[in-house]
Each structure stands twice: as C-alpha cells, then as structure tokens.
Amino acid sequence: MTAQLSADALTLFRGERCLFQGLSFALKPGELLLLEGRNGTGKTSLMRAIAGLIEFEDGDIHWEGKPVRLNRQAFYGSLVWMQHRVGFKADLNLVENLKFEAHLRTQSGEDFEEVLKRLDIDRLKRLPLRSLSAGQQRRVALARMLLSRVPLWLMDEPFTNLDREGRALVMNLTTEHLERGGMCIMAAHQDVEIGGNVQKIVLQ
Amino acid sequence: MNSEDESISMFSGIAGIARRDLLLAWKRPGDVLNPLFFFAMVAALFPLAVGPSPEQLKFSGPAVLWVAALLSMLLSLNSLFLSDYEDGSLDQMLVSPVPLSALALGKSLSHWLTSGLPLVLFSPIVAITFQMPFSVTGYLMLTLLLGTISLSLLGSVGAALTVGLHRGTALLSLLILPLAMPILIFGARTVSLVASGDGVAGGLYFLAAYAVLTLSFAPFATAAALRISNE
C-alpha cells in the first residue's frame, strides 16, 4: 500500500534557529506517527507546518501523492487538528460550539449524543465553556475530532489536563481510529500505549 | 470534493460564522453597545461645546456625525479577530476546507450587522441634536449605510494584518484611515449638499461603487493577511 501522507527532506527555521533539517516520513492508513522531544524542540512548529500555517524552508508534504501546497483545500478537508488552545468560544456552550464546527468541516453521521456520552460531557451541554474545567474543555475538543469524518488526526499534546480515565480514553479512541484505517500524528511527552503500527520521530 | 459541495460549504461557512458571531454579540452586548455609546457621546457633546447657534449646528452636523461614525467603527474593528486569535478558533478556521475568504466575509458581515447597522439606525436620533431636517436625515442614513459597509470590509483587512501584534490599534488606524478618507469626504459632503439643496447622486454613486469595490477585494485580502500574520 502506498503512503497517504509523505514528507521529503523537510527543513524548518524559526527565526535564525534551524529546528530540523532533512526530515522525512511516510504514513500509511492505520499508522501512528509519534513526535517526541524535549520542550522547545519544535514539535508544535512541525505540527503547525504540516497544517500549512508555517512555511517549510525546504521540502514538501504530499497528500495522496499530490503536493499539499497546491491542494490545500482538499488536504484541509481530510484533517482535524487538536492544538494546545482548544479553539472554542468560552461564552458559548458546547452544543453551540460544535454546531459551528459543522460549518467548518463535514461531520460524520455519528450520533452526537453518543459521542458526548462516550466522552462523559453529556451533562455539561447547557454550560458556557468558560465554566468547564480545562480537562473538560479538552474532552470537547476530542468531540470535535470524533464528529469529523476525516482520515488524518493531528494531536498536539492530547493528554494535557486530562485525568487517568481521560488519557486512557484518548488512547482507546486513537487505536479505534487507526483500526478504521485512519492516520494520526501525535506529539506527546508521556508514554503512549497505542496498538498497531507506530513510527517515532525524536526531535533534538 | 466536487464543485457543488464546495459552493455549499462556502455559503454554509459564511452563514455559520456570521451566526456564531451574532450569538456571541447577543451574549456580550457590551461589545456592541460601547462603540454606539461612543458615537452618541461625541455627537451629544459637540453641540454643547459649539454653542446653541442653530446655523452653526446645521453647518457642522454632517461632518461631526460622520467623523464620530468613522471613529466608532474603528473602535470596534480592533477586536474583530482578536478573540479568535487568542482562543485558537482562528487556527481552526485556517485549517478548514471552507475557503478562508468566505469566513472573512462572514466575519465582516457580522461586524457590520453589530456595529455598522446600529449606527445607521441610531443616527436619526443623534441628528436631532444638530437640528437636522427629516429630509436630510434620510440621506444621512443612506450614506452611513453605504459607508459603514465599506468600513467593515476595509477594516477587516487592517484587523487581520495587525491581529498578531499587541496593541495594534494605532497601526490599524494608520493602515485604514487613508483608505477610509474618500468615504468620509464623500459621505459628509453628500449630506451637506442635501442640506443646502444641491444634487447628490454623484456622491451616492461613489459610495455605492466603493462599497462594491471593497466587497469584491476585501475578503481575499483579509484571508491573505490572516495567513501572513498567523505564521
């Protein structure tokens, strides 16, 4: 099977500093790419650059064999991104926030109520997001990932603020996503127990 | 994704973000009322400073109302993308398959509905303090209607360029004001001409043309600016 997502000889600078040079990887359906490295080694920058928010100094990302630079919209149609900041409005409740998400990217037919129940946030529907704890807000961000029907998940430190059950939940959800033929790029500090095909990149 | 899908997602993107921002404005009415309050204050204080002479008030009314409206629009523009930038929603919009220019247009639309339209609707009340006749007030509203549309769209470009900067207010004004000058000149002058009984079609045509021009280029410029300032 050919790679869905491939990167050739990526080089990224932030200011004057070179974060990495000649970085290559290829991701097939069902595979997980784990980004490791100490703080400030460029995991988030790499993630942002893959998402097209920062330009690589050199090198190209290909999605389904086509360079992403020329097919941005199609690439964005196939990814969902979980970042540090959850990207929701604190004044709106989670239903209003997730409803807006449906305008940004196609959502699966997966049952809304089911997803909320699984993430244990179905009791919080009426509350504005600012009154939710940080961990609960991360769970709403997970709901965004589950509701969107896309093959590529970008997860930047998905375990932050989550309790033990929450961390286990993230691993289970990711494993299921990979079993369905999805792909995931994850930056994490913790040990990750996810079955299946795992590649590692350690940023220095 | 075929082209039909894209057009659907484009319109749903415009409508979706406009609805979300209107909902936010509804939950935080202060953001809408502050610029309106500023407009009312400037317009109400000016007659007190100038003195009660009706001649002078009638003469300076259009100019003062237009300057107050322009500054009040600038006041609200600064925060157009700020909260989206701070809470990460902007990043989510940048990686959405919906064209960014459509989302920018949606933002401008909601900005106009929450800051431009209230000014237009509120202006007849403020115009009373300048002893403006009813026939002239109609033209004031019409010029403000066209002018605020252009200002919302132009302003979104400036707000997008300065979103990553702290305290970008001064820079935003410097960027926007030169482009907004024609709107101010033609807007205020048209109302003065009506008051003195001259023909005004030219001014209105200009304002309408300017609105159409900004409508056609501002969303794309805003989208490009957002990508640059979010690097």
pLDDT at A109: 64
Question: CB contact, 8 Å: A91 with chain B?
Answer: yes
List, for residues A22-31, the tens digit of each pLDDT value.
888 888 888 8
Eight-class DSSP state of A32: E
Q: What is the ipTM of this complex?
A: 0.89
User: What residues of A are in contact with residue B32 (Cβ under 8 Å)?
Assistant: none
- Nearest neighbour of B92 by CB, restricted to A87, A90, A91: A87
pTM (2 d.p.): 0.90
Which chain A residue has its CA at the smallest distance from B95's CA?
A: A76
Count of CB atoms within 10 A of residue B230's CB? 18
- For A198, phi then psi, to 5°, come to -115, 125
By CA distance, what is A104's nearest residue in B? B96
Sign of the dihedral defined by the CA atoms of residues A174, A177, A181, A183, in that order: negative
b/e for B71-81, b at 16 or more Cβ within 10 A? ebbbbbbbebb
Residue A80 phi, psi dihedral angles, 5° rounding = -135, 145
**Strand-pair partners of B128:** none
Taking contacts as CB-CB distances below 8 angstroms, the residues of chain B near A68 are none
Is A31 in a helix, a strand, or coil?
strand
User: What is the mean predicted confidence (pLDDT) over B82-101?
Assistant: 90
Instruction: Using an 8 Å CB-CB cutoff, list residues of chain B that contact chain A.
Output: 1, 6, 9, 12-13, 15-17, 19-20, 23-24, 27-28, 83, 86-89, 91-99, 227, 230-231
How far, CA to CA in Å, does A108 sit from each of A43, A77, A86, A111, B1? 29, 13, 20, 8, 15
Task: Work out the mean pLDDT of chain B and round it to a whole number.
Answer: 89
**pLDDT score for B189:** 92
User: Mean pLDDT: which of A84-98, B1-15, B108-122 is highest?
Assistant: B108-122
SS3 A79: strand
Q: Which residues pair with A93 in a beta bridge?
A: A128
The CATH homologous superfamily to which domain A1-77+182-204 belongs is: P-loop containing nucleotide triphosphate hydrolases (3.40.50.300)
What type of residue is B73?
A: M
**Option in A55, A74, A103 nearest B1 (CB):** A74
How many CB atoms lie under 10 A from the CB of residue A165?
Answer: 10
A30-43 pLDDT tens trace: 889 988 888 888 88
CA distance A65 to B83: 37
Which of A103, A105, A156 should be substituted to probe chain B, the one whose Cβ sees the most B Cβ atoms within 10 Å?
Answer: A103
- B107 and B98 in contact (C-beta within 8 Å)? no
pLDDT digits (tens, 9 = 90+) for B37-73: 999 998 888 888 888 788 888 888 899 999 999 999 9
